[in-house]
Amino acid sequence: MNKKIKKPTSADASQGRQKNIAKINKNLALFSLTELEPIFKSLAKRVSKHRRDNKGYVIEKIFPYCNTIGGNFFCVELAIEVVDSKGKVSGYYLKKRGKGELGWQGKYHITGVGVRTTDRPQDIFNRLYIEIFGKKIPTKYSLKNLKFIGIEVHDEPERDTTAWTAVWKMNIKKSQISLLTGQWRFFKLKDINNSQIVNHQHNTLKWISKASPDIFVNLR
């Protein structure tokens, strides 16, 4: 009796592809970076095309490595500063990072977004506002009502890269937390070194809480 030949499944094909990728990855160590120039060129073209076809978006799984190869990236953050009835700053609302986010899951942070190659200024703030308010954005917090603090640079060893960050802030009252979407926590000024806050933003919070912060700072 002839033995029945099993047809390859999609799982078999996927497993074969992964084995091939593992072999290629192992062999890369045998070559200098200069010798790998054709590989870098090919990958750069593919990433660039994906960005053009997807409004500047980079696949999340490869996003950190694109930043590492680039050496740095640019992002925009919007700090939610809490003021009392007299306008005195009492602290900040920080948002909890979810399980699906890239790094620092479960930590609280100043909300921010990475700048994409196809972005206009309004595109950046539209994504940032959705991150903060959801789909119901209060008209009083339009871009013209935000305060620009400055630009800071910090290292992100978790991603093996450096971030250049333009920081704005807006003021709200503590009772207005219902305006915000997601999980937020209020941190008093004396608590900005709390271990529940993303580590590199301890320095960011110290900087923006100054009466007259420098417009360009190195927070490494």
* Domain range list for the chain: 10-53, 72-218
Weakest mean pLDDT among 97-101, 151-155, 161-165:
97-101
Q: What percent of the chain has pLDDT over 90?
A: 71
What one-character DSSP code corresponds to residue 189?
A: G
Q: How confident is the model at residue 80 (pLDDT cuts 50, 70, 90)?
A: very high
pTM equals 0.85
Q: What is the DSSP string of 120-188?
A: -HHHHHHHHHHHHHTT---GGG-GGG-EEEEEEEEEETTTTEEEEEEEEEEEE-GGGGGGS-S-EEEEE
Residue of higher predicted confidence among 92 and 104: 92
Dist CA 157 CA 171 (whole Å): 31
Task: Just give the CATH number of 72-218.
Answer: 3.90.79.10
For the cut 80, the answer to whether the pLDDT of residue 99 exceeds it is no
Q: What is the pLDDT of residues 111-126, one digit of tens each?
A: 999 999 999 999 999 9
- Any bridge partners for residue 89, and if so which? 83
Helix and strand numbers, DSSP H then E, in the chain = 5, 8
Dist CA 211 CA 2 (whole Å): 85
For the cut 90, the answer to whether the pLDDT of residue 182 exceeds it is yes
Three-state DSSP class for 62?
coil
For the cut 80, the answer to whether the pLDDT of residue 5 exceeds it is no
Q: How confident is the model at residue 4 (pLDDT cuts 50, 70, 90)?
A: low
For the cut 80, the answer to whether the pLDDT of residue 187 exceeds it is yes
